[in-house]
């Protein structure tokens, strides 16, 4: 640092600082080279604040104040107390052995060392203890009362008088207040004797003072603290914000720690969803058992057994994976629950899509000269399920390998609670999984919708249409509901969507089949399947009874009857010889 005081154009310096600033400035002047001192103009006018005190340390006793000749300072009001000068003369370093400041000041001011009390060893550098403060230069120690000392003197006496008044008041009314069991140890001295506004009473804790426009400064309104802020004392000028892990009390006069919450199995909502998931799982297992037990019956064989079993098993897993969303989130459950949900649901929707496409292709292949016959069979349906599921599995693998979900605490969404949740890691990947699932569902819905007008023998497409319509409606309403919900109820929305969409597939596709197998076994026979039904457009041609086996042409259909018209299929051989060998 080098000060350009030798600038001949500058005659006046406005200086702001305190005592330590003067000490530092004097060091720089003292250490400056002789040429710098000789060239600098000493006739400067200094204008200083009242906080500046021309005090030097003991090491600066050789310095002088000629550098500041002509300085102007705003003087602080000083009134020297009676006997103050004599008090300073009588001060000795051993008055208070525990006063380390006095010992340190004495050694620095007189450039000596104070030996310990009772220590006989003394040398020339030792202090005698009889030194007098009035022998020190004025810039090291002033014997008169300075402005700073007088301010401290007044502050100490003001505090003493306030404490005296407080304890006097407490003693006077001790008996009355004791009967009211008033506790004084929570009362601070500065809470006594506050002036009351001429317009209104004190603002109670939980509110803050808001000045009334156009009225006196002491007139104000008491405004309640907003949510998340408190005021713990009277007449607060502003409310204090609670820490992030705390919330304001009901009266806004204190902060309370937030409670960590999550959708648990014990609370009513979690218990209800868990019971619903387990019930749907057991019903699906029961349906699967029925189909396995009756695997040789026409209605089971006609529904492409592999797709049926795959669909039922995927629905079982759908109901089970909803339980992963209940309970306190952990590293394992957060890591697998969304991916498991996405992959399992993709398998289920792929099975429905494969069923629908197989039915449509089967009818299109019956047209004369159609080249679609080679595509009808198990290989097509298996390829659809496998390819659609692998795409979703690939998306989930990318998600888990880049930004996997992890347990997290949400302290912002709820006012009074900290929500233990699974942070999805990447919201974009989460919606990509949902988007791909929605795409498969929409394709299945469109294909089933166009296949709904097929003959009644193949009207499973109608039930698939209804099931996929409900499925798509559930997940289309899921997105806005999920985004508008906070806390643990977001998890409840997702669980309900999983259960509702899975239950729709189970009910619409398998309920009538189970009804026929259990309650109308007479319809589950080969004779019933080949029963003719009059067509609305063409008169059907009777088909030889011996040409048909159980399940022929009933691809994913409900057991009814089989019919062909003259212009669609010639009957010179068994229809299943070249078209449907791989379907049933």
Question: pLDDT grade, residue 238 (50/70/90)?
Answer: confident
d(C-alpha 52, C-alpha 371), whole Å: 104
pLDDT > 60? residue 566: no
Q: Which residue has the higher pLDDT, 27 or 84?
A: 84
pLDDT at 532: 38
Question: pLDDT grade, residue 47 (50/70/90)?
Answer: confident
Question: pLDDT grade, residue 416 (50/70/90)?
Answer: confident
pLDDT at 209: 86
Q: Is the dihedral of CA 459, 461, 467, 470 positive or negative?
A: negative
| CB within 8 Å of 542: residues ≥ 6 apart | 532
pLDDT at 536: 36
404-426 average pLDDT score? 90
Least confident range from 5-14, 15-24, 406-415: namely 5-14
d(C-alpha 320, C-alpha 341), whole Å: 9
Give whole-number Cα distances, 463 to 145, 153, 281, 469, in Å.
102, 95, 21, 10
pLDDT > 50? residue 68: yes
pLDDT at 50: 63
pLDDT > 60? residue 341: yes
pLDDT > 60? residue 6: no
d(C-alpha 535, C-alpha 561), whole Å: 11
pLDDT > 70? residue 59: no
Query: Which of 66-75, 87-96, 463-472 has the highest average model confidence (pLDDT)?
Result: 463-472
**Beta strands 207-211 and 220-224: pairing type?**
antiparallel
DSSP 457: G
Q: Which residue has the higher pLDDT, 126 or 216?
A: 126
Q: Which residue has the higher pLDDT, 158 or 275?
A: 275
497-520 average pLDDT score? 91
Q: How many CA atoms lie within 13 A of 425 on its CB side?
A: 19
d(C-alpha 493, C-alpha 474), whole Å: 10
- DSSP states along 326-393: SSS--HHHHHHHHHHHHHHHHHHHHHHHHHHHHHHHHHHHTSTT-TTGGG-SHHHHHHHHHHHHHHHH
**What backbone torsions phi and psi does residue 544 show, to the nearest 5 degrees?**
-55, 135
pLDDT > 90? residue 39: no
Q: Which residue has the higher pLDDT, 29 or 210?
A: 210
pLDDT > 50? residue 445: yes
Question: pLDDT grade, residue 129 (50/70/90)?
Answer: confident
pLDDT > 90? residue 389: yes
pLDDT at 579: 34
What integer best gives the mean pLDDT of the chain? 76
Q: Which residue has the higher pLDDT, 314 or 483?
A: 314
d(C-alpha 244, C-alpha 257), whole Å: 9
Torsion angle of the four alpha carbons 390, 394, 397, 401, in this order, in degrees rounded to the nearest 10: 160
pLDDT at 299: 81
What six digits make up the tokens of 97?
Answer: 């052995």
Least confident range from 62-66, 88-92, 254-258, 452-456: namely 62-66
- Tell me which residue of 303, 274, 272 sits closest to 287, measured CA to CA: 303
pLDDT > 70? residue 158: yes
pLDDT > 90? residue 32: no
Residues in the chain, total: 584
What six digits make up the tokens of 583?
Answer: 């379907």
DSSP 324: G
Tokens 């026409």, residue located: 298
- Tell me which residue of 427, 348, 416, 420 sits closest to 388, measured CA to CA: 348
Give this prediction's pTM: 0.57
Least confident range from 54-63, 335-344, 485-494: namely 54-63
3-class secondary structure per residue, 533-556 = CCCCCCCCECCCHHHCCCCCCCCC
Least confident range from 157-161, 257-261, 276-280, 289-293: namely 157-161
pLDDT > 50? residue 224: yes
Least confident range from 371-380, 414-423, 513-522, 545-554: namely 545-554
3-state DSSP percent of the chain in helix, strand and coil, to 5 = 50, 10, 40
Angle between helices 268-293 and 305-321 (to 10 degrees): 160
**Beta strands 255-257 and 12-15: pairing type?**
unpaired
**Beta strands 240-241 and 229-230: pairing type?**
antiparallel
**Beta strands 240-241 and 12-15: pairing type?**
unpaired
345-374 average pLDDT score? 77
Question: pLDDT grade, residue 377 (50/70/90)?
Answer: low
187-205 average pLDDT score? 59
- Tell me which residue of 359, 357, 362 sits closest to 373, measured CA to CA: 362
pLDDT > 80? residue 390: yes
Least confident range from 145-149, 202-206, 379-383: namely 145-149
d(C-alpha 521, C-alpha 528), whole Å: 10
132-159 average pLDDT score? 81
**CA angle, corner 515, sides to 509 and 517, nearest 5?**
100
65-82 average pLDDT score? 69
SS3 210: strand
pLDDT > 80? residue 100: no
pLDDT at 70: 60
**Within 10 Å of residue 138's Cβ, how many Cβ atoms?**
12
């Amino acid at each position: 640092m080098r000060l350009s005081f030798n600038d001949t154009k500058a005659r006046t310096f406005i200086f702001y600082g305190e005592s330590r600033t003067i000490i530092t400035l004097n060091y720089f002047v003292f250490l400056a080279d002789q040429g710098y001192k000789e060239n600098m103009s000493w006739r400067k006018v200094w204008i200083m604040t009242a906080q500046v005190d021309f005090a030097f340390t003991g090491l600066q006793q050789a310095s002088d104040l000629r550098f500041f000749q002509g300085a102007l300072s705003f003087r602080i009001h000083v009134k020297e107390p009676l006997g103050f000068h004599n008090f300073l003369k009588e001060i000795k370093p051993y008055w208070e052995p525990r006063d380390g400041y006095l010992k340190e000041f004495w050694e620095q001011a007189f450039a000596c060392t104070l030996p310990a009390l009772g220590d006989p060893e003394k040398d020339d550098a030792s202090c005698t203890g009889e030194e007098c403060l009035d022998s020190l230069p004025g810039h090291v120690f002033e014997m008169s009362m300075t402005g700073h000392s007088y301010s401290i003197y007044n502050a100490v006496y003001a505090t003493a008088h306030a404490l005296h008044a407080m304890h006097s008041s407490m003693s006077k009314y001790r008996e009355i207040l004791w009967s009211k069991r008033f506790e004084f140890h929570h009362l601070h001295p500065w809470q006594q004797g506050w002036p009351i506004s001429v317009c209104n009473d004190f603002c109670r804790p939980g509110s803050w003072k808001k000045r009334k426009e156009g009225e006196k400064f002491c007139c104000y309104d008491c405004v309640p603290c907003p949510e998340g802020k408190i005021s713990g004392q009277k007449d607060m000028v502003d409310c204090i914000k609670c820490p992030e892990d705390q919330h304001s009390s009901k009266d806004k006069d204190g902060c309370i720690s937030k409670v960590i919450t999550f959708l648990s199995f014990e609370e009513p909502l979690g218990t209800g969803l868990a019971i619903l998931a387990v019930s749907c799982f057991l019903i699906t297992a029961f349906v699967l058992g029925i189909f396995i037990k009756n695997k040789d019956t026409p209605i089971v064989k006609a529904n492409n057994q592999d797709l049926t079993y795959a669909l039922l098993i995927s629905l079982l897993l759908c109901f089970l994976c909803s339980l992963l969303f209940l309970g306190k989130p952990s590293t394992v459950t957060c890591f697998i629950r969304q991916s498991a949900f996405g992959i399992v649901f993709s398998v289920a929707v792929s099975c429905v899509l494969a069923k629908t496409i197989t039915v449509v292709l089967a009818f299109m292949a019956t047209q004369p000269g159609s080249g679609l016959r080679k595509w009808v069979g198990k290989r097509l349906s298996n390829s659809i399920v496998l390819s659609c599921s692998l795409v979703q599995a690939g998306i989930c693998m990318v998600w888990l390998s880049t930004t996997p979900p992890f347990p997290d605490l949400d302290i912002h969404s709820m006012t009074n609670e900290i929500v233990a949740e699974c942070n999805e890691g990447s919201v974009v990947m989460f919606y990509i999984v949902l988007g791909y699932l929605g795409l498969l569902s929409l394709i299945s819905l469109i294909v089933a919708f166009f296949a709904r007008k097929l003959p009644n023998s193949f009207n499973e497409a109608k039930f698939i249409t209804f099931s996929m319509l409900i499925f798509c409606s559930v997940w289309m309403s899921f997105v806005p509901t999920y985004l508008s919900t906070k806390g643990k109820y977001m998890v409840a929305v997702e669980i309900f969507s999983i259960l509702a969409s899975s239950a729709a597939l189970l009910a619409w596709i398998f309920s009538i089949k189970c009804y026929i197998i259990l309650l109308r076994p007479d319809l589950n026979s080969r004779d019933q399947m080949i029963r003719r039904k009059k067509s609305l457009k063409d008169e059907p041609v009777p088909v030889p009874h011996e040409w048909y086996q159980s399940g022929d042409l009933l691809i994913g259909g409900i057991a009814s009857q089989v019919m062909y018209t003259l212009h669609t299929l010639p009957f010179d051989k068994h229809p299943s010889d070249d078209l449907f060998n791989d379907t049933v």
